[in-house]
Amino acid sequence: MMTDDTNKIVNESGIEIKTLYTQEDVEQSGGIDNSRSGEAPFTRGIHAEMYRKRPFTMRQYTGFANAAETNERFQYLIANGQTGLNVAFDLATQCGYDSDAPEAFGEVGRVGMAVDTLKDFEIAFDGIDLEKITVSLTINGTAAILIAMYLAMAEKRGYDVAKLRGTAQNDILKEFIGRGTWIFPVEPSVKLVADTIEYCAKNAPKYSPVSVCGYHIRESGATPAEEMGYAFSIAKAYTDRALDRGMDIDTFAGRLSYNFNIYGNLFEQVAKFRAGRRHWAKIILEQYQAKDPKSGWLRMIAGGGGFGLTIEQPENNIMRGAYYALVGALSGAQTMALCCYDEAYTIPTPKAQRLSLRTMQLLIEEIGLADTVDPLGGSYYIETLTNEMEDKIVEAMDWVDAQGGIVKAVSDGVIQAKVSEHAFRRQKDVESGAQRKVGVNCYVDDDDEKPEVDLHPYDEDGGRVQIAALEEVRKNRDQAEVDRCLEALRSDADAGRNVMAALVAAVKAYASVGEMTNVLVDVYGRYDEPIRF
């Protein structure tokens, strides 16, 4: 929220907030959507009973140096009541390098789990029931490879892949905008996303091959309305590529999912999700003419935004996290991944992750957030703000269209420049105090000391163990079969065919992430980032 000398209050999305809201404000902004929860356009929730039938899934983000250590943390979280897994991968894996590649030196396992071959997935998910605990793979540049790896691992363990549930992030356009773990140029990168959508629709129809991430776009500087608008533009681009292949909208739209951010003003965030859910339903059911109402569901994980956390007075992050979780519950998120209080400066400790889990569990068990659907619905303020937020989301999408569409805007670097400009202005506002941040630029104690933080150290021994394990796999695999599978992958990529079947075969032969990535780089090339100042 920003204020000026006239005491005018404007939220981050650019909406001026009135002192008092009445029924007249609701009517002037577009009125109340009187549909019930579970009915299109799903403003009040995609399920009729929402959390009364099943509480939101709790899916904390975690991953450590190697597969064995990651499995240990998975088991710890499940034992403490976590109901889904959200896997973090190290930077080398995200960028398509094997652990023994020169580019991976010093990065193996530093900020997530190192994955080289199918063997790592077999260890990481050992003893975990993949029917009871669904898994989200937070991976993008190498998403097609790791989706293939997850499906191959599940099949090897005896699961019916046609019934397997789970999610991959696999939103490469937002990587170009907000994170940077891209590998291939924009067009072949989008082609790979379409490959996964097509393959999963035919072979793993309950699996969600894409989780479009407004989250990282928001973290990078976008407003809440732009977060939703840009994410919808991205989802439409993937949808169009799938339709270009002759797919029916109802065979895949219902498996598209979203990852959205939560930090900042509570009411703006709740209205953002209500408006976004309604507008996505309009896009799919009206613009794309889907026949199945479920195709228009906005299925989302809502994460307590890391950008909202601070290293200053870090205990304040515990309270921030509780409010972020409250927003997620009030706005009807299906899944939550709540940032931990120490996540502003390190990989979360077991204690911090347990606190975040307990925060979400308190909302369900003690605070009453699972008792009724859309408890803020009908508020003059919320209903007016929901309507105004939808207008702002459409405004953001119209801007993207004016740039020639999201793929062109990303390829030209236009959208990256706009988001970066917003991030710069936001930082300047924090530094000047125009945007108030408790413990940072207001309510700062004179005796505040620089907090002592326990940083997650780089594990050199863990790196050596990972490399040794990779060498062992290479020594024992059928190299002739690996070579044959990699050549088949090259052939499919060269011909412009869907590469997923070839990737699954290569994964089963224990080809490595780096080997498969290198084949695709030979065909597609590497991305050269456009820089605008």
CATH code for position 62: 3.20.20.240
533: pLDDT strictly greater than 60: no
What pLDDT, on the 0 to 100 scale, is given for residue 367? 95
User: Beta-strand (E) ranges in 4-147?
Assistant: 9-10, 16-17, 57-58, 61-62, 84-88, 134-138
Q: What ranges in 53-183 are assigned the alpha helix state H?
A: 67-79, 91-94, 118-124, 143-156, 172-174
Choice between 445 and 408, residue whose per-residue pLDDT is larger = 408
**Residue 408 resides in a domain:** no
pLDDT at residue 202 greater than cutoff 70: yes
- How many domains are there within the chain? 1
| Tally: H helices and E strands in the chain | 19, 13
Residue 388 lies in a domain: yes
Residue 139 lies in a domain: yes
Summarised one tens digit per residue, pLDDT across range 52-101 is 999 998 887 787 778 998 999 899 989 998 888 989 999 999 999 999 99
Which residue's entry shows tokens 């989008």? 190
453 in a structural domain: no
Mean pLDDT (the chain) is 93
The predicted pLDDT at position 2 comes to 58
Domain membership flag for residue 69: yes
Q: What is the pLDDT of residue 179?
A: 86
Cα–Cα distance between 402 and 174 in angstroms, integer? 19
pLDDT value for 164: 96
- Average pLDDT score over residue span 437-457: 79
Domain enclosing residue 95, as ranges:
2-403
Tokens of 125: 């998910």
Cβ-in-10-Å burial (0-12, 13-18, 19+) of 216 comes to: buried
Q: How far apart are CA 200 and CA 360, in angstroms?
A: 31
Mean pLDDT, rounded, for 21-50? 96
- Reference 294, options 32, 89, 47; nearest CA is 47
Predicted pLDDT at 94: 96
In a domain, 472, yes or no: no
pLDDT band of 157, cuts 50, 70, 90:
very high
pLDDT tier at 227, thresholds 50, 70, 90: very high
- Give the integer Cα–Cα distance in Å for 135 and 86: 6
Q: State the pLDDT confidence band at 488, using cuts at 50, 70 and 90.
A: very high
Q: Which residue would you say has higher pLDDT here, 482 or 111?
A: 482
Q: Indicate whether 124 pLDDT > 80.
A: yes
Specify if 416 maps to a domain: no
How does pLDDT run across 38-56, given as a tens digit for each residue?
Answer: 999 999 999 999 999 999 9
pLDDT of residue 454: 64
Q: What is the mean pLDDT of residues 309-337?
A: 93
pLDDT band at 218 (very low <50, low <70, confident <90, very high): very high
List, for residues 349-381, the tens digit of each pLDDT value. Answer: 889 989 999 999 999 999 999 999 999 999 999
Of the chain, the percentage scoring pLDDT greater than 90 comes to 82
Residue 232 lies in a domain: yes
- 525 Ramachandran zone, left/alpha/beta (phi>0; psi -120 to 50): left
